[in-house]
Structure 1
Amino acid sequence: MKLGYQTNTWGGVVGHPNGVTSIKDLYYLANGSTEEALADIAAAGYEGFELFDGNLMAYENEPDRFKSLMRQHGLQFIGVYVGANFIYPDIWKDELYRIERTVRLAASLGAEHLVAGGGAIRHDGTTEDDYKRLAAGLDEVTRMAAKYGLTASYHPHLGTIVQAPEQLRKLTELTDVKLCPDTAHIEAGGGDPLETIRTYIDRIEYVHFKDYRNGRFVPLGQGSQKFSAMLDVLKAHQYDGWLTVELDSFPNPKEGAETSMQFLKGIL
């Protein structure tokens, strides 16, 4: 397996301010330095990196600078993370426009994966049609990503309509989209990450490892996740893709990356 790291630890997770009034500009952002993140990720021994759409689009007019950073640090560009509401027909075309713009740039820079999260929770409750709209949107994103040579996967996430195991089951009955399990979000949503990987192994082409303890995301090995058992399941099914560590925020991002790498070396 190849080991990667998400850049969102450097600065934590925010959103682009233009998104408040313009859906087509509603990007995720890690509110730190991508350049510093790549240097630290490489120094910790990872082979590749994933980043948010907003951090990628900062290089839209400077693609050669992005390529230079990858060469400088000897890193591969694994993929990009995007989010959308998915359930509101009036804004869907603007959301899809933003995602395709991101995918086009990501593909030109050598990315392999598109990770999509979302499915908004309405103020007055989720409807069955919301799951149908989310599924249809993910099918469209999957086709669009494939057009550019990327594999699209859905990432269950707290704060969406796919947090709990039953919600994930409901969605997967409506779409064939690949699944990118985020182990800590699955646990925080009431699920068992190991059982989730076993259940959906045939859909998994990309994996996020994240540890969880007392309601907080922590470096690998500092929580209760059964990573060795998860690796056994993945290996038994000949999974040889990317294993990307994600840690939304940490006081010392480089130290967090190093801690997780040391843990992975001990179990791989």
Structure 2
Amino acid sequence: MVTIAFSKPTRGAEQQRLLFDRYPKFGFAGLQLKGGQYGEYLDDPVAGAERFRADWGTEPGHVSSVITMNPLDEAGKERLRALSAFAGAVGSQRVVLCHDVPRDGLDDSDLIRFAGELSDYAEAAAEQGVVLSLHHHTGEPVMHRRDFEVFFGAVRENTLRLTVDTGHLLMSGVTDIPALLTDFASVIDNIHLKDYDDGEFRLLGQGSVDLTSVLDTVAKLGPGVTLCVDEESRAEIVEGLRVSRDFLARTR
């Protein structure tokens, strides 16, 4: 059975506490945290992990994955190293990396170079007991269907994994999402289920992504893949949890 997680940005400690309190009640197994939900704990990653648990609780699901927007400049590299150490210390399964570099002007050689660099960082993260998973992103290096082929053709085997985001695929012009899931199944460890329409991310079932076909394909990928509702619509936390739960109940 696929593990089902939830992710949503929050504004301030009160909203974060609400998210942490409510996600299990709606049937989600864990949270994939955005940067603002853990960033203050990274100055000293190991001590920060202890402070995080003291502040938010020790339940493993509270930090099943951490999501970061990171370039690979010197500051970004240092943050990625600190985040891998924090994730390992707090018991997180993976670091999900949105490679925060503009796509414009890049060619295949850049993608191949990035693949080698991120393979190195994936190996370093594995030493902390953490998987490094690339989140492709509109406007970033891995964006179009061909980018996936070039980039993951150069990634070293058994290093970097792939987080597929259904909303960002459609926004980037990739419409056959089940085909991409099938073709890259060997590297996929995480799927961000997200709806999209008319320039905005939407609640599940309220956009243009063929989520039913996506879920049918996800069911064939095996138990090692995490399915995460990455809820980035304008809805408030409880509405996002409720609508997401009800959609999954109708379609799975």
TM-score if structure 1 supplies the norm length?
Answer: 0.80
Match of 1:180, SS state, is strand
Residue ranges of structure 2 left out of the alignment (5+ in a row): none
1:115 aligns with: 96
Per-residue deviation at 1:231?
2.7
Per-residue deviation at 1:74?
7.8
The runs of at least 4 consecutive aligned structure 1 residues that moved more than 4 Å come to none
1:171 aligns with one of 129, 146, 151:
151
1:226 corresponds to 2:210:
yes
1:241 corresponds to 2:225:
yes
2:141 aligns with: 161
Q: Is the 8 A contact 1:56 1:106 kept in 2?
A: no
Count of paired positions:
242
Q: Is the 8 A contact 2:112 2:150 kept in 1?
A: no
Quick one: distance in 2 between partners of 1:32 and 1:39? 11
Percent of matched pairs sharing the same residue: 22
1:144 corresponds to 2:144:
no
Match of 1:111, SS state, is coil
Letter paired with 1:163: M
Residue ranges of structure 1 left out of the alignment (5+ in a row): 12-29
Letter paired with 2:22: D
Could you report, residue by residue, the CA deviation over 1:61-112 in whole angstroms, capped at 9, with x for unpaired residues? 55445325345x78342111122223xxxx3x43221111111111111100
Write out aligned runs for 1:1-268 (5 A).
Answer: 1-8=2-9, 10-11=10-11, 33-60=15-42, 63-68=49-54, 69-71=56-58, 75-86=61-72, 91=73, 93-118=74-99, 120-121=101-102, 125-176=105-156, 177-191=160-174, 192-268=176-252
When residues 122 and 207 of structure 1 are mapped into structure 2, their CA distance, relative to the original with a 3 A threshold, is closer
Q: Which moved more, 1:190-199 or 1:167-176?
A: 167-176
Per-residue deviation at 1:134?
1.6
Per-residue deviation at 1:185?
0.3
When residues 84 and 133 of structure 1 are mapped into structure 2, their CA distance, relative to the original with a 3 A threshold, is farther
Letter paired with 2:115: A
Letter paired with 2:139: G
Letter paired with 1:157: H
Quick one: distance in 2 between partners of 1:158 and 1:31? 29
Match of 1:205, SS state, is strand
Q: Which moved more, 1:144-153 or 1:242-251?
A: 242-251
Could you report, residue by residue, the CA deviation over 1:31-69 in whole angstroms, capped at 9, with x for unpaired residues? 984223212323333120011244313235554453253
When residues 31 and 156 of structure 1 are mapped into structure 2, their CA distance, relative to the original with a 3 A threshold, is farther
Quick one: distance in 1 between partners of 2:79 and 2:147? 26
